[in-house]
Structure 1
């Protein structure tokens, strides 16, 4: 089954149970690679290259529309995701206490899922200029 067939099936089911909230299925198939679909309780769905839902989604979508490119690298994608979150979360600064990061990618022909450790996430936030490094104590 392709990812789109799976999403269509999920959306058909959701149509019958419209009281459930939205769903964000994503996946990988051998024909088209990674795919991202968003659906709503009515059963409508659409495929996206980059998308955001929830609070401040319009601001996030605007940033994604402006900064996303088709040949984005994993590192650039992480940087863009952190930029979107830093501009749209109701928080003065992002830290690993307020945020988690995971990546889905292909390595050696297999789909991998990797959760970023809190220490690595804090390093990424500083590296990409999303937050300031911790002040040194004397």
Structure 2
């Protein structure tokens, strides 16, 4: 039945569904898992890297984590070419707001503005929805630390903990069980690693298969966005007992 109604984004099925939008959401299920956790002193984002070639310069490139402004970053799951367009759009919007009002753009206003763009691509003919979901992490003076999730339909919502990408339902159920209010950033990192280790496709958890980013406040009051280095991730995994230390060459 769906074949009669899925050739256009503007045609509703008799059940009131837009199949093209649903297909875009299905495409995200093929991407690496990304998890976001809101803590009392920051926001943690962690993602599973699918591209693990030894030739990739990991020190200068990221696959899942992107900085939008000094106070906002995001994790991505889906078609990266689509994500790049939306990330650049969000960066421009954030800078225009800062130029006009001389202060950082509120996090939810930035997310809503980007989701308005995504929703437009589900409404007009000749376009297809963006096949990408985001986890936005940020801080502003209005609501402090915030975590938002958005999907290809343009819908978004604020979350305490959320997962997108492959096996997101299993990750979401684990987060629902183990998340607790007043969680610290260190505990959030440990929880995110625990959930990802049980939901990612790979059998072993190593630093070259992960990206971990954090948004937190410095003692000076400035917002800091930090991506953990592979060396720091390796030490953390060994400390938590989630991987074995590398054997020294004899």
Per the normalisation by structure 1, the TM-score is: 0.89
Alpha-carbon distance in structure 2 between the residues aligned to 1:84 and 1:43 = 27
Give the equivalent residue in structure 2 for 1:124. 236
Alpha-carbon distance in structure 1 between the residues aligned to 2:120 and 2:249 = 59
Q: 2:217–2:223: 8 Å Cα contact kept in structure 1?
A: yes
Of 115, 127, 130 in structure 2, the residue corresponding to residue 20 of structure 1 is 130
Give the equivalent residue in structure 1 for 2:246. 134
Q: 2:139–2:145: 8 Å Cα contact kept in structure 1?
A: yes
Bigger shift: 22-31 or 84-93?
Answer: 22-31
Query: 1:48-71, CA deviations, whole angstroms, 9 ceiling, x for partnerless residues?
Result: 011010001011111111111121
Give structure 2 stretches of 5+ with no counterpart. 1-104, 123-128
2:159 is the alignment partner of 1:48: yes
Shift of 1:8: 1.9
Of 224, 232, 242 in structure 2, the residue corresponding to residue 112 of structure 1 is 224
Give the equivalent residue in structure 1 for 2:113. 9
Structure (1 or 2) with the larger CA radius of gyration:
2
Alpha-carbon distance in structure 2 between the residues aligned to 1:111 and 1:76 = 20
Shift of 1:135: 4.5
Alpha-carbon distance in structure 1 between the residues aligned to 2:164 and 2:130 = 16
Q: How does 1:27-66 map to 2 (within 5 A)?
A: 27-66=138-177
Q: 2:138–2:215: 8 Å Cα contact kept in structure 1?
A: no
Q: Which structure has more strand as a fraction of its residues? A: 2
Structure 1 stretches (4+) deviating beyond 6 angstroms? none
Local SS of the residue matching 2:175: helix
Compare relative contact order (CA 8 Å, sep 6+) and give the higher one, 1 or 2: 2
Give the equivalent residue in structure 1 for 2:196. 85
Alpha-carbon distance change, 133 to 44 in structure 1, aligned in 2, over 3 angstroms: same
Alpha-carbon distance in structure 2 between the residues aligned to 1:15 and 1:23 = 14
Per the normalisation by structure 2, the TM-score is: 0.51
For the aligned residue pairs, the C-alpha RMSD in angstroms reads 1.7
Q: How does 1:86-105 map to 2 (within 5 A)?
A: 86-105=197-216
Residue-pair matches, total: 138
